[in-house]
Amino acid sequence: MHDVLYPQSSRWEQVIVTFADLVERAGFGLIISPLLEDLAVFNRGIGSESDVVRKEMYELEDRSGRHLALRPEGTASIVRAFVQHRPNLVWKAWYLTPAFRYERPQAGRYRQHHQLGVELLGTDDPEADIEVISLAGSFYRSLGIEKVKLSINSMGDGQCRPAYIELIRDLLIDRKDQLCKEHASRAGINPLRVLDCKRGECIQATADLPHLVDHLCPACISHFATVREGLADLGFEAEINHRLVRGLDYYTRTTFEFSALKLQSAQNAIGGGGRYDGLVESLGGPPTPGIGFGIGIERLLLAADEEGVLPLPESSTDIFVVDIVGGHRARVITHELRSNGIRAIRSFDNRSIKAQLKLADRSGAKFAIIVGPDEDRADIVTVKALRGDEPQVNVKASLVADYMKGLLG
Ligand code: HAM
């Protein structure tokens, strides 16, 4: 887990504001929901056989003995909220959330990470898949992150997936001596998980397994084809990855992942998601299809670093008010400037002019507004450029906000 301080946090702000702007233009509204949920939400929602639930969840008991967990991801909790409140369909929600997973920490993998995500509930139209996936793709582009690969797969549905699972279960049980230690004993319980395993033995032993997309029913074939065509239509070429079963058990039909080509492959997923047409029902709601994605902010910033985009802002302020007549002038002037939409700061503790000018310079402000005894008597201020070669001028104190607005454009 980690802290994010200013100025690094200003990049987070940029990322979040860009995301909110993009998804709100597409009709998604913000949802804020608790970090703690009843443990059953995740057991039933994500699946008690998934790694996230079995090995990574932060579970606790509250003072009245209820079994709770910190959310390891957003989707199950948001679907819980949907079931509880039953908003009108189609429901489009976006969120920003910390997510907690007891993973082995390393670069790009943390025990608390942060996700920006959307969930769209109430339709199984492939156009919804296209809208959701292309929104994520547009988000990376709008941040200037270009070296991104989109992978896609279909998990089938209740019609076609069970037969495929049986097919590979038998094959995997035959090959269990070739699988990694964990999956040798678990292949029979959740065979799809073996496809997600990143260990060499499992990758090798599953290389020639039949592909799920070759065993889809006609409805899933048509859905998958429309999604791929629609994405291509919008300039998002998706490559099929037959191993993309994803680590959460709620997925049906479309799954997808965006990977940053400049990051190490173990931690290069900068976003992923998929369709979950059975999740609402498994959390006690009426049959309601849905699709969404989550994007990890930390990894997104690592990808941005590798591509040299999203630089730190040069300064957080435009004006530093230097007051050497006691501080009350700076009080009024900063108040006035800020009320006029100008970023303005001051110092405290009655420092010397030299010390205040040094702070002004260090702040990155473009201008200093100086009030010394002469200015104070004449009810004026001195405006001094700290960068650039604007000449020094005196301005009437009551007009300073208007004057500075003009100067800063
Ligand atoms: P996920 O793939 O588990 O999906 O996580 C989404 C993203 O969060 C990943 O692509 C990655 O960028 C980031 N992430 C995950 N774990 C970590 C970690 N330990 N450290 C840093 N970043 C991490 C979900 O969570 C689904 N809820 C997405 C979704 C929404 N599916 C449907 N709707």
- CA geometry: angle at 392 spanning 389 and 398, to 5°? 130
DSSP lists the bridge partners of residue 252 as: 275
Instruction: Determine the residue of 95, 115, 151 to mutate for testing ligand 1's pocket, defined as the one with the most ligand atoms within 8 A of the Cβ atom.
Output: 115
State the average pLDDT over residues 250-270.
Answer: 95
pLDDT at 189 over 90: no
* Residues 6+ positions from 273 with CB-CB distance below 8 Å: 117, 132, 133, 136, 255, 256, 291, 292, 293, 294
Q: Which residues line ligand 1 (CB under 6 A)?
A: 73-75, 101, 103, 109-110, 113, 115, 117, 119, 247-248, 269-274, 292-296, 298-299
Query: pLDDT digits over 316-333, tens only?
Result: 899 999 999 999 999 999
Ligand 1 center to residue 269 CA distance, Å? 8
Ranking 51-55, 82-86, 181-185, 350-354 by mean pLDDT, the lowest is 181-185
Half-sphere exposure of 62 (CA within 13 A, CB side): 10
7 phi/psi in degrees, rounded to 5 = -90, -5
Cα separation, 113 vs 115, in Å, equals 7
The confidence score (pLDDT) of residue 49 equals 86
Instruction: Determine the residue of 15, 31, 42, 73 to mutate for testing ligand 1's pocket, defined as the one with the most ligand atoms within 8 A of the Cβ atom.
Output: 73
* Confidence grade of residue 266 (pLDDT, cut at 50, 70, 90): confident
State the average pLDDT over residues 77-84.
Answer: 98
132 phi/psi in degrees, rounded to 5 = -65, -45
Ligand 1 center to residue 296 CA distance, Å? 6
State the average pLDDT over residues 251-267.
Answer: 95
List the residue whose alpha carbon is closest to atom 17 of ligand 1.
109
Ligand 1 center to residue 314 CA distance, Å? 31
Domains of the chain, with CATH numbers? 8-158+216-307 (3.30.930.10), 319-408 (3.40.50.800)
Average pLDDT, the chain: 96
- The model's pTM is 0.95
State the average pLDDT over residues 168-196.
Answer: 91
pLDDT at 314 over 90: no
Query: pLDDT digits over 329-385, tens only?
Result: 999 999 999 999 999 999 999 999 999 999 999 999 999 999 999 999 999 999 999
Ligand 1 center to residue 77 CA distance, Å? 14
List the residue whose alpha carbon is closest to atom 6 of ligand 1.
294
The confidence score (pLDDT) of residue 284 equals 98
Contact by Cβ (8 Å): 19, 143:
no
Ligand 1 center to residue 116 CA distance, Å? 9
List the residue whose alpha carbon is closest to atom 23 of ligand 1.
296
The confidence score (pLDDT) of residue 83 equals 98
Number of the ligand 1 atom closest to the C-alpha atom of 293: 30
The confidence score (pLDDT) of residue 187 equals 86
Query: pLDDT digits over 204-258, tens only?
Result: 999 999 999 999 999 999 999 999 999 999 999 999 999 999 989 999 999 999 9
Residue of 371, 345, 316, 357 whose CA lies nearest to 14: 316
The confidence score (pLDDT) of residue 185 equals 86
398 phi/psi in degrees, rounded to 5 = -70, -15
The confidence score (pLDDT) of residue 313 equals 87
For the chain, what is the largest distance between any 2 Cα atoms, rounded to a whole number of angstroms?
A: 93
Could you give the percent of the chain with pLDDT greater than 70? 100
List the residue whose alpha carbon is closest to atom 8 of ligand 1.
296
Query: pLDDT digits over 108-145, tens only?
Result: 999 999 999 999 999 999 999 999 999 999 999 999 99
Instruction: Determine the residue of 55, 150, 153, 299 to mutate for testing ligand 1's pocket, defined as the one with the most ligand atoms within 8 A of the Cβ atom.
Output: 299
pLDDT at 175 over 90: yes
State the average pLDDT over residues 149-156.
Answer: 98
Ligand 1 center to residue 158 CA distance, Å? 25
